[in-house]
Amino acid sequence: EDKVVQSPLSLVVHEGDTVTLNCSYEVTNFRSLLWYKQEKKAPTFLFMLTSSGIEKKSGRLSSILDKKELFSILNITATQTGDSAVYLCAVGYNNNDMRFGAGTRLTVKP
Amino acid sequence: GAVVSQHPSRVICKSGTSVKIECRSLDFQATTMFWYRQFPKQSLMLMATSNEGSKATYEQGVEKDKFLINHASLTLSTLTVTSAHPEDSSFYICSVPDARDTEQYFGPGTRLTVT
């Protein structure tokens, strides 16, 4: 069965901490892995990863994919209260199938 | 285990037909569920908020007569795409907030292809 598992489900840190969010997957014919940040109701796109070992970076956020071990991590350095959100991982596979993980809720305390 | 399920995971339908997508909350009752649609360049758009026992709340620009939402019970919301057209082909995902609205759980999504 195709699945996408995110961990941890929730995480509480303090401002300035660095966090690592995990997304593992088991799908057939992997195509891509996407990360979203969801605040309130509307998720915003962060990264799309297709190749192993190539880090994508945007400000304090970075992500990398390991297609051999079937997982990706999303790193956030020097966290701020504005980073508090649910972070979603989605995996595209087969021709145009997609599956979302349940998300990780990050809370950054001042 | 999964907290939210969607059925079907993928569906292909002909232009002009209607298709129903189910979203089920497996672990808890939900008076509210959210429906999203994925657009090109990976963006997710909130379509509507499904409210148990009352009408759904649609976001601006979403046609309520085309995307019918029925929150039939505290564990089930359905999205029916009526008179589907190829431009409705997309990935539809639902989410369910828990009772305290502190956690939100996403379904695995449904890929709709209209031919």
Phi, psi torsion values for B67, nearest 5 degrees: -110, 90
Q: Chain A within 8 Å of B67 (Cβ-Cβ)?
A: no
pLDDT at B104: 73
Q: Chain A within 8 Å of B42 (Cβ-Cβ)?
A: yes
pLDDT at A41: 66
Sort out which chain A residues have CB atoms less than 8 A from B105's CB and list them: 102-103
DSSP conformation letters of B36-97: EEE-GGG-EEEEEEEETTS--EEPTT--TTTEEEEEEETTEEEEEE-S--GGG-EEEEEEEE
Span A15-39, pLDDT tens digits: 999 999 999 999 989 989 999 998 8
For residue B39, give Cα distances in angstroms to A73, A84, B88. Answer: 24, 24, 10
Sort out which chain B residues have CB atoms less than 8 A from A40's CB and list them: none
Span A67-97, pLDDT tens digits: 999 999 999 999 999 999 999 999 988 876 7
The residue whose two tokens read 């508090």 is A84
